[in-house]
Structure 1
Amino acid sequence: MSLFKLLKEDVDVVFDQDPAARSRLEVVLTYSGVHAVWAHRIAHACHRKKFFFLARVISQVSRFFTGIEIHPGAKIGRRFFIDHGMGVVIGETCEIGDYVTIFQGVTLGGTGKEKGKRHPTLKDHALVATGAKVLGSITIGENSKVGAGSVVLRDVPDHSTVVGIPGQVVIQNGEKVRKDLDHHKMPNPVSDRFKQMEQQIVALQNEIEQLKQGVELDDN
């Protein structure tokens, strides 16, 4: 595929994902996510030709103007959409498939100073919501979603939804996941666990009260 056609697709996907987009001119001139992806495609081409310094300069200039940092070595597929984008960080060995969407504040990072593949892989149609952190050489499966603010440290199967810290799968088993994530309606496994603990504490308190009453009756 030609570079021009690839850049055109980067504009087309905005209209698929963002209802606020009004015209191509507006997208081309004002969408920082599009600018960052375009700059990365040029930087990545330089990186592949081993012009590492030039590639790094392009990525840092893009970071200065867009607030989005994408390492030139990251591999990004077609129709990649960064919504808003400020604070997004994408590491060197990330591999991002086609039709992937991420929101502002997302980190696709590593977990240390290990060599080799140390950043996440996002398969086709994955979605990572606002402020989520996906860390390490893990895979987010096809059509899977990461909820806002989640921290994901393990692989996520295809057609799954992950929420919480650490991230836990809450929807799985091949269920089709749509790309209209309602962030405020996501299940919260951490909160559910606290509720279970509260119920157990109340049950224990009741048992203790019953035991106390039994001891008092025996004394009498």
Structure 2
Amino acid sequence: MKKILILILITSNLIFSQESEINKLIELGSEEFQNNNIIKANELFEKALKIDSLNKDVLFNLAATELRLNNKSKACKLWQKGYKLKDYGARELVLKYCGQIEYSEFMFKEDVDSEPKFIFKDKELPINIDSKLNPKLTSLFLKESKKSKVIKNYKNQKILLIFNINKNGKFEIKAIKDKPDELKFEIERIFNEIVTFIPSKYKGLNTEYWGGYAFPIYFN
């Protein structure tokens, strides 16, 4: 146990040290950029990228220096990478300087070509209507939930969950506060059995957008 704790401590200190070094390099690079020393700023951001290639701030700032150095193609690659790490600022610059956003398994809601739907009686219906879960989908779920032995344990309880339709077309709960996994899995099972879901699409490919739908449930 002592060895494990020491290892955790060493790892934590290493991560903290790396974050401090990255923050310092970003600060120095930003100062050089503001002073129009673009090459020096680029070198500092490149150094930070070698420490953490998935740092959104590093990617964003390095791309800005590449654009100033007329390396638009490299700048766009960096911003596209930042987009896939959920950097909204990178999204705006991709649209401004790079044209189209590259496909990603997760995307911002405003970028998908179509939002998720479900099929009922051979018709494609929206998940939400007026910012609320489609009444038909709600009705189907509540009717089926009355047959569930698991859900019977939560009778007269109100539950709020956040869900989305993943890129494989499956109902997936993202958050359900203070409830056991058995309830989460049961709700997912029921939704995925009562209807067929269609995921978001971008350029003809299945995707999922960050965020999700809020669904308050009252089991009576």
User: Could you tell me the TM-score, scaled by structure 2's length?
Assistant: 0.30
Higher strand share: 2
User: Could you tell me the TM-score, scaled by structure 1's length?
Assistant: 0.30
Which fold has the larger relative contact order, with Cα–Cα distance below 8 Å and residues 6 or more apart in sequence?
A: 2
